[in-house]
Amino acid sequence: MEIIKELPEIFEEFAEQRQKSFLAVKEYKDRGIPVVGAYCTYFPKEIAMAMGAATVGLCSMSEETIPEAEKDLPKNLCPLIKASYGFGKSDKCPFFYFSDVVVGETTCDGKKKMYEYMAEFKEVFLMELPNSQREEGLKLWTKEILRFKEYLEEKFGVEITEEKVRAAVREENEVRKALKEFYGLMRHEPTPMDSKELFSVLYGSTFKMDRVAAAKEIREVTARIEKEYAEGKRRDKKPRILITGCPIGGATEKLIRAVEDNGGVVVAFENCTGAKAIDRLVEEEAENIYDALAERYLAIGCSVMTPNKNRPELLGRLIDEFKVDGVIEMVLQACHTYSVETGKIRRFVNEEKGLPFISIETDYSQADVGQLNTRVAAFIEML
């Protein structure tokens, strides 16, 4: 195996982007630039971008603050919800601390009730997310996006024009296209990079607040990797894994390590920190840009949707495009919507795509690393 020699520092830069952004967000505040924080891929960030705000993803991927959260929230709640609340309450998340407002959404019951507690110590704007992608739901979501726009205009004393919204749409679409080009590199057989390097860019890019610079940097990395691959620098051939399920990152990167340590390579992430968040673009030339925004965001195939037809549609495309050998689903403990949906996804992968499937339930602790490795090793060996 010939390791790429010139790229590790780039992957490290993306991996460290979250820490770098801690300093950047303070600089934004010092310059008087509003900061809008959010947790979910349903957050229509282009509206906040159109008023010149910096948008940031808030801390939610570590067990560090869960004990603090459990003073108010039940112990048998999803770790992502508890961590989100704990980081906010304990002021251990710089992004949360510097956010002028946190934008929440009524996805699962746990999150929407958690936002009620959070609103006691932070300004929270809660968007009512429809639980279906029907025409009625689309109309409601368009109204919610317009309500969010009006809220920002009143709170910050600005005017968010259609022209500014369209400019923000074009800017964020470029980031999505750049990321799709980047993770498209994993179509190669064998792969040009390993799972951790793939994930470091996908996850790290979410913390780059300068979106124009983000698209440029991602495309530069993609071009360099493609050049190195053409010169024969590539990884060994390994079983090709797709990871689906709950948001992955931070503590749950233990699953990525388990795949790598047991001889596999993750060629695609369907999760919110992967293709699900960037697969679709906003129609830039739409007659009504707010309808286009609503349509794009509501089409995200999250398990909170009923029915959730877009998740298997995206999974099927990724399985075919990336020549996947097996699918691993990661479900966080007490995440009921993903847990209940596991049966449908298993049948889709097994019966319609003819591939092996395994679902792993975990949390943010490292206590199950040994068991997780054993299950992943057996799955990959079967492939």
Give the pLDDT score at 19: 78
Question: Which of these, 295, 317, 316, 299, lies nearest to 308 by C-alpha position?
Answer: 299
Give the pLDDT score at 2: 35
Give the pLDDT score at 3: 34
Residue 311 covered by a domain: no
**How does pLDDT run along the chain (383 residues), one tens digit per residue?**
333 334 556 667 666 777 778 888 989 999 999 999 999 999 999 999 999 999 999 999 999 999 999 999 999 999 999 999 999 999 999 999 999 999 999 999 999 999 999 999 999 999 999 999 999 999 999 999 999 999 999 999 999 999 999 999 999 999 999 999 999 999 999 999 999 999 999 998 988 899 999 999 999 999 999 999 999 989 999 999 999 999 999 999 999 999 999 999 999 999 998 999 999 999 999 999 999 999 999 999 999 999 999 999 999 999 999 999 999 999 999 999 999 999 999 999 999 999 999 999 999 999 999 999 999 999 999 99
d(C-alpha 347, C-alpha 136), whole Å? 29
Residue 124 covered by a domain: yes
Give the pLDDT score at 10: 60
Q: What distance separates the 2 farthest-apart alpha carbons in the chain?
A: 60
Side chain identity at 278, as an amino acid letter? I
Residue 102 covered by a domain: yes
Question: Which of these, 264, 244, 181, 252, lies nearest to 215 by C-alpha position?
Answer: 181
Tokens of 24: 């950047």
Domain residues for the domain of 56 are: 25-158
**C-alpha angle with apex 64: 59 to 68, nearest 5 degrees?**
95
d(C-alpha 163, C-alpha 146), whole Å? 15
Q: Alpha carbon of 101 to those of 37, 56, 122: distances in Å?
A: 6, 11, 7
Polymer length of the chain: 383
**Packed helices 79-90 and 109-118: angle between N→C axes, nearest 10 degrees:** 10
Residue 241 covered by a domain: no
> What is the per-residue DSSP string for 199-210?
HHHHHHGGG---
Tokens of 90: 């304990």
Residue 8 covered by a domain: no
CB atoms within 10 A of CB 255: 24
Give the pLDDT score at 14: 65
Side chain identity at 315, as an amino acid letter? L
Please name every residue paired with 90 in a beta bridge, in sequence order, or none if there are none: none
| Cβ atoms of residues 267 and 242 within 8 Å | yes
Tokens 């996804």: give the residue: 345
Tokens of 112: 């929407």
Residue 166 covered by a domain: no
pTM for the predicted model, two decimal places: 0.94
Total structural domains within the chain: 1
Question: Which of these, 265, 116, 252, lies nearest to 187 by C-alpha position?
Answer: 265
Tokens 């002028």: give the residue: 100
> Could you tell me where the DSSP H helices lie in the chain?
8-15, 17-30, 45-50, 66-69, 79-90, 94-98, 109-118, 135-156, 162-183, 195-204, 211-230, 254-261, 275-278, 289-298, 310-321, 336-347, 369-382
Sheet strands side by side (includes 265-269): 265-269, 240-245, 326-332, 357-362
Q: Alpha carbon of 225 to those of 8, 188, 221, 268, 288: distances in Å?
A: 11, 11, 6, 17, 38
CATH of the domain at 55: 3.40.50.11890
| Cβ atoms of residues 280 and 296 within 8 Å | yes
